């Protein structure tokens, strides 16, 4: 009886070991028409975080809606977005969960859009509305910062759906929740607003990275001390 029992335990252990190996490479969203949070496979070095799953955006029908306090509200196609003067940088996204990841980004400055739509003097910031229903507010002062980028390219390739296709914000001196992705609309507003995480979680409205610790995914999550603001390698 003891041998039978041990044999059963061994079989169960083998089953769970093989199952765990299989699940380790499993991505629920892979080959799906939806995008959602994932941290496995190729995303172990750059986690994917979304507020809610959403249907993949089709680039040929997507438009960036620019609304609110501006003289010339308009919808810009992906082709039009790609004609804007390109700005590139290497920068790291730092999450409040204490991990970070680095990439080379290309895109354009908000000022390039402002030349087209001409924001009103009353505008003090922008509300970003995204495909996952996420909303974020950023002040114009932050959006005009030299290290802030509206990115459409990551590591030399167009953004993947997971990393925010077709357009995302990169603002490396603030936590990742201040860098909205899969953007659908930019609205110029006259009052400071609150983003989705500010409304539902214990996160600051400002979002500037504080002194503390970082666990960079591209460095094996080895803990290091940071002084606050952008993390420069």
Phi and psi at residue 210, to the nearest 5°: -95, 160
Q: CB–CB of 65/184 below 8 Å?
A: yes
Sign of CA dihedral 37, 228, 90, 102: negative
Q: What is the pLDDT of residue 28?
A: 55
| Full strand arrangement of the beta sheet holding 125-130 | 74-77, 63-68, 183-189, 125-130, 135-139
**β-pair partners for 216:** 100
Q: Which residue do the tokens 């190729």 mark?
A: 42
What pLDDT, on the 0 to 100 scale, is given for residue 199?
86
**Two tokens at 206?**
């400002």
Per-residue pLDDT tens for 78-122?
A: 999 999 999 999 999 999 999 999 999 999 999 999 999 999 999
Residue 1: per-residue pLDDT: 46
Among 78, 182, 171, 79, residue whose Cα is nearest residue 129: 182
pTM confidence score: 0.85
Pairwise pLDDT comparison (13 vs 178), residue with the higher score? 178
| Superfamily classification of domain 46-226 | Oxidoreductase, molybdopterin-binding domain (3.90.420.10)
Query: Which segment of 28-37, 53-62, 76-85, 198-207 scores lowest on mean pLDDT?
Result: 28-37
Question: What was the pLDDT predicted at 15?
Answer: 33
């Amino acid at each position: 009886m003891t041998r039978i029992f041990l044999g059963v335990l061994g079989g169960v252990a083998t089953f769970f070991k093989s199952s765990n190996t299989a699940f380790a490479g499993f991505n629920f969203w892979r080959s799906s028409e939806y995008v959602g949070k994932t941290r496995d496979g190729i995303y172990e070095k750059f986690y994917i975080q979304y507020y809610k799953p959403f249907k993949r955006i089709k680039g040929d029908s997507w438009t960036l809606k620019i609304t609110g306090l501006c003289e010339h509200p308009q919808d810009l196609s992906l082709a039009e977005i790609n004609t804007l003067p390109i700005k590139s940088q290497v920068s790291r996204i730092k999450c409040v969960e204490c991990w970070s990841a680095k990439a080379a980004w290309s895109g354009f400055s908000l000022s390039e859009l402002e030349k087209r739509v001409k924001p009103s003097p009353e505008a003090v910031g922008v509300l970003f509305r995204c495909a996952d229903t996420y909303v974020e507010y950023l002040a114009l002062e932050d959006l005009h910062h030299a290290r802030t980028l509206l990115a459409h390219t990551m590591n030399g390739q167009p953004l993947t759906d997971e990393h925010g296709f077709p357009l995302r914000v990169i603002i490396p001196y603030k936590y990742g929740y201040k860098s909205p992705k899969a953007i659908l609309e930019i609205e110029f507003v006259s009052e400071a607003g609150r983003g989705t995480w500010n409304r539902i979680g214990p996160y600051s409205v400002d979002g500037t990275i504080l002194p503390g610790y970082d666990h960079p995914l591209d460095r094996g999550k080895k803990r290091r001390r940071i002084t606050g603001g952008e993390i420069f390698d």
